[in-house]
Structure 1
Amino acid sequence: AVRAGQCFFASREAMIVFDEAEDVFSDGGLMRDSTARSHKAWMNRLLEGNAVPTLWLSNRVDDIDPAFIRRFDMVVEVPVPPRAQRERIVRALCADAVEDSVVRRLAHEEKLAPAVVAQANGVMRCLGSSLPRERAGNVLLHLVDSTLAAQGHAPVGGKNAQQLPDFYDPAFINADVDLAAIAERLKDSRSARLCLYGPPGTGKTAYGRWLADQLDMPLLVKRASDLMSPYVGENEQNIAAAFRAASRDGALLLIDEVDSFLRDREGASRSWEATLVNEMLTQMETFQGVFVASTNMMTGLDQAALRRFDLKVKFDYLQARQAGVLLRRNGERLGFALPADVESLSAAHLPYVTPGDFATVMRQQRFRPAISFEDFLAALKGETALKAVSKLGIGFLR
């Protein structure tokens, strides 16, 4: 068809568009070559001698033979639009029907094609124009999430990953540096590589969100599940894409569970593990923005990776004074009668408590409410009792 089109339109002002070209270049398998490889000489002549300008559109180029790629006059990548542009697209489609928070949440999702939003918006409007904006937003998110799930992507309709937890307060973070001072200094430089390490629930990931808020920067959050792929080579591509997106949007890049990508290469048993670390180190070295990595397992990180972090900040269990203030604050919030020695109770009964423990117990109030301050304290003790803490003392680095 393409060859026939070249002959038919040769004497006219025309252009040919070949969509989904990857079906020709990468439709082979283990036992047979792709269509393009099977007819390599013919394909080369088609690419080198076309009389009519031809656009070859492909969703990916990974499997296209380099010999074919070099025969294209121009190879142009069309990346995912920046977040600001995505927000303009979504706003133009449905801002009149849903709340602004829904627009921002949809715009944050890189894997969400504008066509999906347009289709979901059309369905939502067919359901009736009488829907209140809040209900319309929930309907739109549900429709979009259904399509994303069918495509194998995570939903956007859940809790906003960019949102700072309501309970977060830097005053209740037990770190070995002044976190507020770091934020103040970064307002000028806006370039740093920070590694936050410590037990779960100590506020590492939340600090990354808080820092982005203080710097008035967009936030790009990536977890291990967002970047890891079962296919060889895609992990490295996903990591590179995350850093590119952060650079493009001027965003603070927060990678949670970074130990998944920076394991010590000396213990690597497979070549791809070392390649993954190498790619991560390369991206860290060239990234000019603010990069925050968090981990619960500092001891297993690659030594070269540790050297590339400008600052390594230890987040530890709450001090007795901090735990006492949180205990009093949450007890008052629940309307309990408090004993006079709340602070001493926290020191005696909650030696390994974290802000995350308080958040967990507060969420439990929805389905297992405490009836007294003693019940609330017992629930906190139950959370801390499950932790495997070294007998050498608070912390986990020895």
Structure 2
Amino acid sequence: MTNGEIEILSFFYLLSTSDFFKDFLDSNKHINFERFSIFKCLGHIILGHERNSFLHIFSKTRLFKMYIMEKVYRGEIELRSWCINFLSGYGAKELSHEFFTRENEESLQISDFSVSENEKIVLKTLIKSKKRQNILFYGVPGTGKSSLARCLARTCKKDLYTVKLPEDDEHDLRLRNIYATISIAEKKKAIVLVDEADEVLNSSNSLFYKSKTNKSFINNLLESHQKKLIWITNRSNGIDSSTMRRFTFSVEFKKFNTKDRLRVLKNELKKQRLDGYFDEEELHDLCQTYSVNAGGIVDAINAIKIERKTKKETTLKNVRTLLGNHEKVTIGKKNSNIKSGKLNNYSLKGLNTSQNLENVISALMRYTEYQNDNAENPHSIKMLLYGIPGTGKSEFVYYLGNLLSREILLKRSSEIQSMWVGETEKNIAEAFREGQENNSILFFDEADSLLYPRKASNHSWEKSITNEILTQMDSYAGIVVFATNDVDGLDHAAFRRFQFKIEYLPLTPEGNVQFYNSILSPLISNDNVLSDKDVNRIQKIRNLTPGDFAIVKEQCTFINQSKVTHQQLIESLMNETRHKESEKKITGFAAMDR
């Protein structure tokens, strides 16, 4: 701060805390020095300043930008409470503690991050340059944005100033901290980190989000400093285009995939001289099962303090516990999107489909062989599975994954769709990117909630979602599967995109017997063989699906198997189909009432 700014600050501090000083100035009731207009006109006389230099101090408005002073009602100005508390000895011991922290304990290496090598080179070059830099890190939470900023500071031998988040999340205090940190940080050696900057940078209003920051205010802030700033935000769609243009460089942080986790885990084990401790299958299983970032992996390995003599079974159990808990804390649930495709006792025998599934599988196996031999493979397999619930559509996808040795990347409508404008389309693009990078089978369940028929759509966003999916499908090089119970609810143009359109139908009479023998017969404890009469009853049950057999099996889970009979099982199956007939009748009467 300049001497003039310090004198103004001292004047208003005395005015706020000294009754004697205030009474002395209030002796002339016509002159109120707390009024901005009066102090601007007469303040230079009280402080003994030359008028032009005094006005120059006010023209910069730094005392207001740094949230030291504020304008209140009726045009009056006063010191902010935090400043009064600090000057009175009630605040932090050091002024800097009000605005930022200087800790930089980061165990990750720059090679641990899923950022391209070219981007890392550019980042290092910008940090080491002498010019002002505004760098934006954006992307989904938990992908290592803050960790990379700390790692960059350490690698480039810079001091990291992390702007403090106010305890009450007050927006004005946040801006004050940013301005103060920029002012205090040393130009040549400092990086200023503004973490969780969504509310500061996202200046565009939407139906669900009202900006707290003026666009011109942000743009002026980005242009007026002379430091190196790294801004971190989870979403960039609310940042105005004029603001985005003011960033020197921006890096998108994408969700870690299995390959990313495997790379970090191997690097950390190598650093601790534990390479070879786990075999490839064990490492791959850990990285596939737990959706954690680099920090979670490194913390887990460091916390356990593995030694070569430690039993591997014990170590694996501990690692799984740590990774599972970390995953629950960071994303709120266990990752259910990536499946290995391992199914027990699954068989195509008895399924009733519109196409021969063996022929479909043969085509897919030839495709994967071709894909493995051709790195630049422009071709894709697009498959649509449709039919009533319980017919085995999803199970077939996981069966495919097992046969082709591919992970299943499951994407449900609930996690794709977002209330933010443009965010759903971004999630769709991210799903295809993730499937491409992992070489997974990309599986969209509940396809009717995504591929809206554009001619019948009532909202522009429905058309936009369908258009985005079709665009991504056209450029995708891999296997993508959509499943739906309502094929009539799909866009017609989308329907034509699929090379394989397979309808899953209720089981045939022979299929009924096949599934009964494979799923329900083992529940009978004795050697009671199905009689011809029982077989005939099973064959006559209409509209059975594989899912019905699974439900009946679950019903018997806690029943004494010695008491389970074929007659009971057959009656349970018939009851499942009666429920379906009941639904049809209700739907019919409801339609008549309209």
* Structure 1 segments of 4+ aligned residues over 6 angstroms from their partners: 27-31, 91-97, 99-103, 120-125
Distance 2:553 2:498 in 1: 35
Q: Normalising by structure 1, what TM-score?
A: 0.80
- TM superposition shift of 1:135: 5.7
| Aligned-partner SS, 1:75 | strand
**Aligned pair in 2 of structure 1 residues 373, 145: CA closer, same or farther (>3 Å)?**
farther
1:232 aligns with 2:421: yes
Letter in 1 for 2:542: P
Gaps of 5+ in 1: 392-398
Q: Which of the numbers 213, 226, 239 marks the counterpart of 1:34? A: 213
CA distance in 2, matches of 1:160, 1:70: 37
Aligned to 1:9: 187
1:352 aligns with 2:543: yes
- The CA deviation at 1:265 is 2.0
**Normalized against structure 2, the TM-score is what?**
0.56
- How far the C-alpha of 1:5 sits from its partner, in A, is 6.2
Post-superposition Cα deviations, 1:73-127, rounded to whole Å, max 9, x if no partner, equal 3323232333122134357779979x977973653555x33434555677788xx
Q: Structure 1 residues 353-362 or 53-62, which shifts more? A: 53-62
C-alpha separation between the residues in 2 aligned to 1:17 and 1:121?
30
CA deviation after TM superposition for structure 1 residue 232, in Å: 3.1
> Aligned in 2, Cα 1:31/1:323: closer, same or farther, shift over 3 Å?
closer
Q: Which residue of 2 aligns with 1:144?
A: 326
Q: CA offsets per residue over residues 162-216 of structure 1, 9 Å max, x none?
A: 4444242112321111212222222233421100001111111111111122222
Aligned equivalent of 2:473: 284
- Check if 1:65 corresponds to 2:65: no
Match of 2:385, SS state, is strand
Change (3 A) 1:32 1:183: closer
The letter of the residue matching 2:570 is: L
Tell me whether 1:107 sits opposite 2:288 in the alignment: yes
Which of 165, 168, 171 in structure 1 is aligned with 2:349? 171
1:44/1:68 contact within 8 Å kept: no
Q: Is residue 195–residue 294 contact of structure 1 (8 Å, CA) maintained in 2?
A: yes
Q: Identify the residue that residue 326 of structure 1 maps to in structure 2.
A: 515
SS in 1 for 2:434: helix
Give the Cα separation in 2 of the matches to 1:91 and 1:359. Answer: 40
Deviation readout 1:39-64 (Å, 9 max, x if unpaired): 43342344xxx4x5554443332222
Aligned to 2:364: 186
The residue aligned with 2:573 is 380
Equivalent residue letter for 1:168? Y
TM-superposed deviation, 1:331: 4.2
8 Å Cα contact 1:331/1:338 also seen in 2 = no
CA distance in 2, matches of 1:193, 1:74: 37
Change (3 A) 1:141 1:321: farther
Q: How many angstroms apart in 2 are the aligned matches of 1:75 and 1:327?
A: 58
Q: Give the structure 2 partner of residue 83 of structure 1.
A: 258
Change in 2 beyond 3 A, CA 1:101/1:357: farther
Cα separation, 1, equivalents of 2:237 and 2:356: 45
Q: Matched residues in 2 for 1:2 and 1:143: separation?
A: 35
Contact 1:25 1:37 in 2 (8 A): no
| Distance of aligned partners of 1:301 and 1:338 in 2 relative to their CA distance in 1, 3 Å threshold | same
| Shift in Å, 1:379 | 1.5
Seen in structure 2, the aligned counterparts of structure 1 residues 263 and 184 have a Cα distance that, compared at 3 Å, is same
Whichever residue aligns with residue 401 of structure 2, its letter is A
How much is the aligned-residue C-alpha RMSD, in angstroms?
Answer: 3.5
Residue number in structure 2 paired with 1:361: 552
Higher relative contact order (CA 8 A, sep 6+): 1
Larger Rg: 2
Aligned to 2:38: none
Please report how far the alpha carbon of residue 256 of structure 1 lies from its aligned counterpart in structure 2 after TM superposition: 0.7
Bigger shift: residues 69-78 or 242-251: 69-78
The equivalent residue for 2:201 is: 25
Tell me which residue corresponds to 1:155: 334
For 1:305-316, what aligned pairs fall within 5 Å after superposition?
A: 305-316=494-505
Task: Provide the rounded CA distance (Å) in 2 between the counterparts of 1:159 and 1:249.
Answer: 13
How far apart, in 1, do the equivalents of 2:468 and 2:487 lie?
A: 19
* Of 287-296 and 212-221, the range deviating more from structure 2: 212-221
